[in-house]
């Protein structure tokens, strides 16, 4: 019995000492290998594999793996199973590591870009002046097989035709893979060539071409003194200058520049100038000619292949220092026919018959486009009112005929500078119909101050109307009311005096006499067939604004009020020709004091 028990214990001990195939398999080592251990382009990839072994050296299949990469040269992403993909990110070496449990293994992947192709990125097929540096540098980009730029590649440049020169002759590509050099063309007109080569690579050389010209490619740019207005036969206040530059905008010194009068009959001094180191050439002086209106000076640079430019000015006429009475200076900022210019002058003369008192002359500077886009700059004496007059496209035939208003006024409120603009599509029709004079005279009245802007600021416009609210709008200046009564308004029962237009929309309502009462009076919102008299109402309203007027200069005009008692309604009984809708021009408004100081009001 004792022998049997001993035998059983021995058997059990032997069984406990054997593994019986049940000991856990633990990852103990990891071996990593790369299919391609060296990459020659950024963005190139290779696959790496990991073999995981246990404590007995046996391979473990499907062991979980974590992949990492050190440094910035490569990145790694697991593909599942025993594989991962490695991507080249920068030149250098990266260590790729696979980890399973506490075991890990690594391999090194080298990244070394190899130049595979080049791209011309500047300076080819240029044209420039012989003996001068081209505007654009010769530039090449060296790239690997995946078209990624290569940093640090040497590029040699050599002149192969035209006897020019390059500087530097050798350059190294920058972070964008670009190497560049400046190219001075040879002394002869014609072809020039430069070759770029790439030592240490298998890339073929590339050739750049340029054509040498006797003149430089460039531009002439207006610098100072363009678009000025001055009285005819006087010098513009700012001496005109131009900037001469090459095609890339670099100033060209030492270039001859010629100035010549192209229109207006003016005179210039120092008609030939040479650009300074900053590319600037100055005209000695420009005295405008006797022609009121646009005047021009042509500028050319014979040593530069550049289009000529034109310096523009405007000659103004009328009024001026030493004159008496009320004067209007006209500045025609666009071309117009002699007959159209004469109608402007006739309108100015008619208003000067009505306004007799001389206003305080002012002297001051006005910048270009202060009144409206394109209006010229000025620095001159203003006696008593200066008007920019322009004929230009507005909105086509039969719509807005013209617009007018003031942009500068004296501190006491009376206008000093204004603008009149007329639609080129309508002016000929107005002239043919015989109404051009009435339209010009009407619009000039708005510049002088007849209308909602000055009426409102001086407190004479009452109950202004809008498209949604038509009221009994009226002008309460005592002079205008007396004038209204004098022409038959004592029996008016349609509302307050003097009735102001309360329909027609912005630019018509609140800025004209009411047409269904005052019919064909000059300052209603329509131009009528036949006469458009300037009545005593208009003349005396100017006195309310502060002008000294000649009441005897008013046209004969008398109301028949049996038909005009209503506040609104049709005025179809009036023989109309043109509606002056939206003709009050709302401009930026400034004041100017006696010292020429200006203040923006709106």
For the segment 142-197, what is each residue's pLDDT rounded down to a tens digit?
Answer: 999 999 999 999 999 999 999 999 999 999 999 999 999 999 999 999 999 999 99
pLDDT at 506: 83
Q: Where are the beta strands (DSSP E) in 424-472?
A: 461-462
For the segment 30-44, what is each residue's pLDDT rounded down to a tens digit?
Answer: 999 999 999 999 999
CA distance 241 to 239: 7
pTM over 0.85: no
Q: Average pLDDT, whole number, for the chain?
A: 90
CB-based contact 569:516 (threshold 8 Å): yes
pLDDT at 21: 54
CB-based contact 440:434 (threshold 8 Å): no
pLDDT at 470: 95
Domains of the chain in start order, with CATH, are 27-111 (2.60.40.10), 117-213 (2.60.40.10), 218-317 (2.60.40.10), 326-451+584-602 (3.10.170), 459-583 (3.90.132)
Count of other CB atoms within 10 angstroms of residue 254: 11
At 214, is the pLDDT very low, low, confident or very high (cuts 50, 70, 90)?
confident
At 505, is the pLDDT very low, low, confident or very high (cuts 50, 70, 90)?
confident
For the segment 558-598, what is each residue's pLDDT rounded down to a tens digit?
Answer: 987 544 444 443 334 445 566 777 788 889 999 999 999 99
CA distance 307 to 293: 25
CB-based contact 210:183 (threshold 8 Å): yes
Contacts of 309 (CB under 8 A, 6+ apart): 220, 221, 222, 242, 298, 299
pLDDT at 368: 96
pLDDT at 577: 60
């Amino acid at each position: 019995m004792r022998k049997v028990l001993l035998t059983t214990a021995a058997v059990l001990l032997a069984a406990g000492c054997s593994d019986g195939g049940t000991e856990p398999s633990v990852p103990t080592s990891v071996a990593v290998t790369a299919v391609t251990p060296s990459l020659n382009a950024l963005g190139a990839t290779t696959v790496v594999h990991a073999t995981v072994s246990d404590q007995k050296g046996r391979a473990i299949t499907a062991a979980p793996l974590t992949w990492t990469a050190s440094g910035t040269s490569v990145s790694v992403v697991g593909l599942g199973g025993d594989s991962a993909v490695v991507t080249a990110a920068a030149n250098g070496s990266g260590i790729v590591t696979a980890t399973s449990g506490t075991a890990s293994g690594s391999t090194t992947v080298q990244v070394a870009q190899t130049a595979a192709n080049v791209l011309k990125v500047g300076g080819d097929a240029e044209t420039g002046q012989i003996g001068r540096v081209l505007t654009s540098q010769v530039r090449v980009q060296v790239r690997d097989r995946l078209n990624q730029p290569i940093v640090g590649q040497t590029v040699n440049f050599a002149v192969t035709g035209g006897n020019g020169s390059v500087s530097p002759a050798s350059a190294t590509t920058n972070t964008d893979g670009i190497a560049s050099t400046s190219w001075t063309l040879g002394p002869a007109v014609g072809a020039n060539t430069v070759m770029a080569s790439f030592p240490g690579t298998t890339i073929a050389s590339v050739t750049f071409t340029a054509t040498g010209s006797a003149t430089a490619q460039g531009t002439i740019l207006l610098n100072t003194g363009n678009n000025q207005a001055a009285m005819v036969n006087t010098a513009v206040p700012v001496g005109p200058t131009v900037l001469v530059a090459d095609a890339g905008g670099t100033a060209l010194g030492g270039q001859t520049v010629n100035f010549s009068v192209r229109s207006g009959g003016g005179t210039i001094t120092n008609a030939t100038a040479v650009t300074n180191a900053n590319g600037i050439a100055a005209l000695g002086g420009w005295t405008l000619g006797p022609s009121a209106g646009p005047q021009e000076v042509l500028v050319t640079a014979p040593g530069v292949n550049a289009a000529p430019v034109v310096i523009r000015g405007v000659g103004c006429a009328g009024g001026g220092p030493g004159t008496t009475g009320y004067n209007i200076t006209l500045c025609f900022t666009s071309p117009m026919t002699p007959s159209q210019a004469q109608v402007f002058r006739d309108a100015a003369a008619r208003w000067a018959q009505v306004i007799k008192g001389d206003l305080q002359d002012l002297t001051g500077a006005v910048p270009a486009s202060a009144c409206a886009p394109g209006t010229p700059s000025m620095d001159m004496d203003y006696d008593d009112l200066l008007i920019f007059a322009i004929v230009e496209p507005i909105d086509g035939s039969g719509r807005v005929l013209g617009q007018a208003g003031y942009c500068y006024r004296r501190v006491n409120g009376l206008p000093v500078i204004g603008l009149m603009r007329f639609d080129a599509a309508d002016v000929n029709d107005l002239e043919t119909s015989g109404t051009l004079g009435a339209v010009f005279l009407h619009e000039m009245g708005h510049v002088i101050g007849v209308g909602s802007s000055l009426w409102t600021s001086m407190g004479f416009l009452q109950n202004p109307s809008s498209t949604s609210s038509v009221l009994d709008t009226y002008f309460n200046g005592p002079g205008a009311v007396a004038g209204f009564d004098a022409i038959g308004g004592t029996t008016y029962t349609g509302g307050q005096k003097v009735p102001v237009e309360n329909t027609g929309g912005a630019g018509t309502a609140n800025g004209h006499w009411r047409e269904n009462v005052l019919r064909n009076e000059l300052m209603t919102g329509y131009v009528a067939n036949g006469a458009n008299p300037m009545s005593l109402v208009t003349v005396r309203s100017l006195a309310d604004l502060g002008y000294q007027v000649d009441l005897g200069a008013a046209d004969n005009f008398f109301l028949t009020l049996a038909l005009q008692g209503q506040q609104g309604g049709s005025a179809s009984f009036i023989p109309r020709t043109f509606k002056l809708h939206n003709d009050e021009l709302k401009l930026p408004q400034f004041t100017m004091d006696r010292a020429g100081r200006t203040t923006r009001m709106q």
